Amino acid sequence: MSRHQAFRNVQSTVSEHLYGDEDYYSDEAEEELSAEDKAAMEQGTADVRAALGVEASKVTTEQIQEALWHYYYDVDKSVTYLLTKFIAPPPPKAAKSAQKPHSGASAYSTTKSFLSALFKDMPWGNIPQERVTVFVEPQRPRGGLLGGSGAAPKLTKLQQLALARKKKVEQQSSEEQAEDTREKLGELSMKEAPSLKENRLSEGGGFSKRQKLSDTTAAGRLLQREPAATDAEKRPTAIQRRSHLRDSSGQALSSLDGAEERAPEAGSPSTPFQPLPRSAADEPSHGAEMAGPSDFAQTLFGSPAVEPEPPANKLFALPYMAYCPSLADAFSKPSPDDVVLAAQAKAGKKTATAAATKKKGGGADSVANDVKALKIDDAPLPKSKNFNVLHEFEKSKSKKTASFVVVGHVDAGKSTMMGRLLLDLKVVDQRTVDKLRKEAEKIGKSSFALAWVLDQRTEERARGVTIDIATNRFETESTVFTILDAPGHRDFIPNMIAGASQADFAILVIDASTGAFESGLKGQTREHSLLIRSMGVSRVIVAVNKLDTVDWSKERFDEITHQVTGFLTATGFQPKNISFVPVSGLHGDNLVNRSTNPAASWYQGPTIVEELESSEPTTRALNKPLRMTISEVFRTPQSSITVAGRIDAGSLQMGDALLVQPSGEKAYIKSVQLDEEPVDWAVAGQNVVLHLSNIDPIHVRAGDIICDPAQPIQCLDSFTLKALAFDFLMPMQVDVHRGRLHSAGTIESIPALLDKVTGAVTKKKPKIVKPAAVARLVIKLASKVPLEAGQRVVLRSGGETVAAGLLE
- Kindly tell me which residue out of 94, 647, 774, 802 binds other proteins, with binding defined by CB under 8 A: 774
Interface positions, 229-268, toward other proteins (CB under 8 A): none
Interface positions, 381-420, toward other proteins (CB under 8 A): none
Interface positions, 284-343, toward other proteins (CB under 8 A): none
Q: For other proteins, give the closer residue by CB, 579 or 791.
A: 791
Question: What backbone torsions phi and psi does residue 585 show, to the nearest 5 degrees?
Answer: -65, -35
- Confirm if 68 and 37 have CB atoms less than 8 A apart: no
Question: What backbone torsions phi and psi does residue 194 show, to the nearest 5 degrees?
Answer: -60, -25
Task: Kindly give, in sequence order, each residue whose CB lies less than 8 Å from that of residue 458, ignoring residues fewer than 6 positions away.
Answer: none
Q: What sign results for the dihedral spanned by CA atoms 442, 443, 444, 447?
A: negative
Interface positions, 653-692, toward other proteins (CB under 8 A): 689
What whole-number distance in Å separates Cα of residue 163 and Cα of residue 179? Answer: 24
- Kindly tell me which residue out of 291, 322, 352, 732 binds other proteins, with binding defined by CB under 8 A: 732
Q: For other proteins, give the closer residue by CB, 426 or 770.
A: 770
Binding mask 538-577 for other proteins (x = CB under 8 A): -------------------------------xxxx-x---
Q: For other proteins, give the closer residue by CB, 381 or 730.
A: 730
Question: What backbone torsions phi and psi does residue 85 show, to the nearest 5 degrees?
Answer: -80, -45
Contact between 521 and other proteins per CB under 8 A: no
Q: For other proteins, give the closer residue by CB, 601 or 733.
A: 733
- Kindly tell me which residue out of 280, 340, 417, 469 binds other proteins, with binding defined by CB under 8 A: 469
Strands 505-511 and 578-582: unpaired
Contact between 722 and other proteins per CB under 8 A: yes
* Amino acid in position 662: P
Strands 800-807 and 715-725: antiparallel
Q: For other proteins, give the closer residue by CB, 423 or 721.
A: 721
CB of 768: closest distance to other proteins in angstroms?
6
What whole-number distance in Å separates Cα of residue 115 and Cα of residue 130? Answer: 19
Q: For other proteins, give the closer residue by CB, 271 or 534.
A: 534
CB of 756: closest distance to other proteins in angstroms?
5
Minimal CA–CA distance to 717: which of 659, 669, 787, 655? 787
CB of 747: closest distance to other proteins in angstroms?
7
- Kindly tell me which residue out of 140, 244, 701, 784 binds other proteins, with binding defined by CB under 8 A: 701
* Amino acid in position 782: A
**Of 17-25, 106-114, 707-715, 716-724: span binding other proteins (CB under 8 A):** 716-724
CB of 441: closest distance to other proteins in angstroms?
19
572-to-233, 517, 537, 791, 801 alpha-carbon distances in Å:
51, 21, 10, 18, 16
**Of 381-389, 458-466, 549-557, 657-665: span binding other proteins (CB under 8 A):** 458-466
- Kindly tell me which residue out of 707, 792, 795, 802 binds other proteins, with binding defined by CB under 8 A: 792
426-to-146, 438, 449, 473, 615 alpha-carbon distances in Å:
77, 20, 16, 11, 22
Q: For other proteins, give the closer residue by CB, 451 or 609.
A: 451
What whole-number distance in Å separates Cα of residue 73 and Cα of residue 33? Answer: 13
Q: For other proteins, give the closer residue by CB, 108 or 573.
A: 573
CB of 724: closest distance to other proteins in angstroms?
5
Q: For other proteins, give the closer residue by CB, 67 or 535.
A: 535
- Kindly tell me which residue out of 291, 730, 761, 789 binds other proteins, with binding defined by CB under 8 A: 730
Strands (E), 336-478: 400-408, 470-475
Q: Number of residues in contact with other proteins, rule: CB under 8 A?
A: 71
Question: What backbone torsions phi and psi does residue 723 show, to the nearest 5 degrees?
Answer: -125, 150
- Confirm if 103 and 139 have CB atoms less than 8 A apart: yes
Q: For other proteins, give the closer residue by CB, 391 or 767.
A: 767
* Amino acid in position 573: F
* Amino acid in position 216: T
**Of 267-275, 430-438, 557-565, 630-638: span binding other proteins (CB under 8 A):** 630-638
Contact between 361 and other proteins per CB under 8 A: no
Q: Which residues pair with 482 in a beta bridge?
A: 403, 473
CB of 564: closest distance to other proteins in angstroms?
14
Interface positions, 132-171, toward other proteins (CB under 8 A): none
**Of 281-289, 399-407, 628-636, 666-674: span binding other proteins (CB under 8 A):** 628-636
Strands 400-408 and 505-511: parallel
CB of 262: closest distance to other proteins in angstroms?
59
What whole-number distance in Å separates Cα of residue 4 and Cα of residue 329? Answer: 11
DSSP type of residue 634: E
Q: How far is residue 501 CA from its own chain's centroid?
A: 30
- Kindly tell me which residue out of 635, 666, 696, 718 binds other proteins, with binding defined by CB under 8 A: 635
Interface positions, 733-772, toward other proteins (CB under 8 A): 733, 735, 742, 744, 746-748, 754, 756-757, 759, 762-765, 767-768, 770-772
- Confirm if 779 and 748 have CB atoms less than 8 A apart: yes
CB of 401: closest distance to other proteins in angstroms?
18
Q: Provide the b/e sequence for 334-357 (b: ≥16 CB within 10 Å).
A: bbbbbbbbbbbbebbeeeebbbeb
- Confirm if 697 and 709 have CB atoms less than 8 A apart: no
Q: For other proteins, give the closer residue by CB, 143 or 494.
A: 494
Q: Residue 351, SS3?
A: coil
Interface positions, 473-502, toward other proteins (CB under 8 A): 489-492, 494
Task: Kindly give, in sequence order, each residue whose CB lies less than 8 Å from that of residue 459, ignoring residues fewer than 6 positions away.
Answer: 467
Question: What backbone torsions phi and psi does residue 472 show, to the nearest 5 degrees?
Answer: -150, 170
- The span from the first CA to the last CA of the chain, in angstroms, equals 70
Q: For other proteins, give the closer residue by CB, 64 or 451.
A: 451
Q: How far is residue 474 CA from its own chain's centroid?
A: 26
CB of 670: closest distance to other proteins in angstroms?
17
CB of 605: closest distance to other proteins in angstroms?
24
**Of 138-146, 165-173, 351-359, 793-801: span binding other proteins (CB under 8 A):** 793-801
CB of 679: closest distance to other proteins in angstroms?
18
- Confirm if 627 and 647 have CB atoms less than 8 A apart: yes
CB of 414: closest distance to other proteins in angstroms?
15
Q: Cβ of 574: how many Cβ atoms within 10 Å? A: 10
**Of 79-87, 111-119, 215-223, 791-799: span binding other proteins (CB under 8 A):** 791-799
Q: For other proteins, give the closer residue by CB, 317 or 806.
A: 806
CB of 534: closest distance to other proteins in angstroms?
6
CB of 418: closest distance to other proteins in angstroms?
13
Contact between 632 and other proteins per CB under 8 A: yes
What whole-number distance in Å separates Cα of residue 317 and Cα of residue 65? Answer: 40
Q: For other proteins, give the closer residue by CB, 37 or 717.
A: 717
235-to-161, 238, 408 alpha-carbon distances in Å:
44, 5, 51
- Confirm if 465 and 487 have CB atoms less than 8 A apart: yes
Contact between 534 and other proteins per CB under 8 A: yes
- Confirm if 245 and 340 have CB atoms less than 8 A apart: no
CB of 455: closest distance to other proteins in angstroms?
9
- Confirm if 109 and 54 have CB atoms less than 8 A apart: no
Q: For other proteins, give the closer residue by CB, 389 or 568.
A: 568
CB of 706: closest distance to other proteins in angstroms?
16
CB of 798: closest distance to other proteins in angstroms?
6
